Amino acid sequence: MNDFEHKVMECKKDKNHPQRNELINSYVPFIIKNVSKTTGKYISCENSDEFIVGLEAFNEAIDKYDRSKGSFVNFAEIIISSRVKDFLKKENHYQKTTPLEEKEEFETYEVISDENDILKDEVHKFKGMLKLFSIDIEDLVEEAPKHKKTKEEVILLSKNASQDDIIVHRLYKTKKLPMAEMITKFNTTKKKMKDHRNFIIAVIIIFREKLSSMIYFAGLGGGKNV
On the question of pLDDT at 106 being above 60, the answer is no
Question: Which residues contact residue 176 at a Cβ distance below 8 angstroms, ignoring those fewer than 6 apart?
Answer: 170
Q: How confident is the model at residue 154 (pLDDT cuts 50, 70, 90)?
A: very high
Residue 184 confidence (pLDDT): 87
For 74, half-sphere exposure in the C-beta direction (CA atoms, 13 angstrom radius) is 25
* pLDDT over 70, % of the chain: 81
How far apart are alpha carbons 9 and 27 in whole angstroms?
Answer: 16
* Least confident window among 16-20, 95-99, 120-124, 189-193: 95-99
Q: How confident is the model at residue 94 (pLDDT cuts 50, 70, 90)?
A: very low
Q: How confident is the model at residue 6 (pLDDT cuts 50, 70, 90)?
A: confident
Map out the domains of the chain as residue ranges: 3-113, 118-217
On the question of pLDDT at 15 being above 80, the answer is no
Q: Is 31 helix (H, G, I), strand (E, B) or coil?
A: helix
Q: How confident is the model at residue 109 (pLDDT cuts 50, 70, 90)?
A: very low
Whole-number average pLDDT of the chain: 80
Residue 16 confidence (pLDDT): 76
